[in-house]
Amino acid sequence: MHTNDAVFLEDLCPKFRFRQWRKSIHKFTGKSCIYCGKPSESIDHVLPRSQGGLSTTENCVPACLSCNGNKSDENALFWYRKQKFYDPRRAMAIRAWLEGDLRLAIRLLQWANPKFKVNNKNYEKDQTEYNAA
């Protein structure tokens, strides 16, 4: 598919764009849960939608179903501090993510999990896609 066609499709179909956006969120962390590092199966709203949280990249983090369900409507950082798998580096990453500094967030996540590798080229591309959206 042509890049131009893709942009056209996204304009025509918000659902398609939403899917692309969700995909790019998972890609930022190499498809791992930002809280515990397990495979991310869902997108967690840090500030829950019930409390006015928006579906923006800054407010949405990749999370496994267990963390997402467990956290429920609690403040993410507050909830996270009480978990057995709490890691201050991940907490810092979450904070950086919320501030929109994905680059720093990813660096902190890599620090927390040396096995986690992100293809920088893809990351740059995702960032462009996000800015275009």
- Residues near Zn ion (CB under 5 A) are 33, 35-36, 38, 64, 67
**Token pair for residue 12?**
């025509």
Residue 63 beta carbon to Zn ion: minimum distance, rounded to whole angstroms: 5
3-state SS, residue 54: coil
Which amino acid, one-letter code, is at 101? D
Q: Which is nearer to Zn ion, 72 or 131 (CB)?
A: 72
Nearer to Zn ion, 24 or 68 (CB): 68
Neighbours of 79 (CB within 10 A): 17
For the bound state, the minimum distance from the C-beta of residue 102 to Zn ion, rounded and expressed in Å, comes to 19
Are the C-beta atoms of 90 and 34 separated by less than 8 Å?
Answer: yes
User: 82 phi and psi, to 5 degrees?
Assistant: -90, -5
The least CB distance from residue 34 to Zn ion, in Å, is 8
- Nearer Cβ to Zn ion, position 20 or 111? 111
Closest separation in Å from C-beta 68 to Zn ion: 7
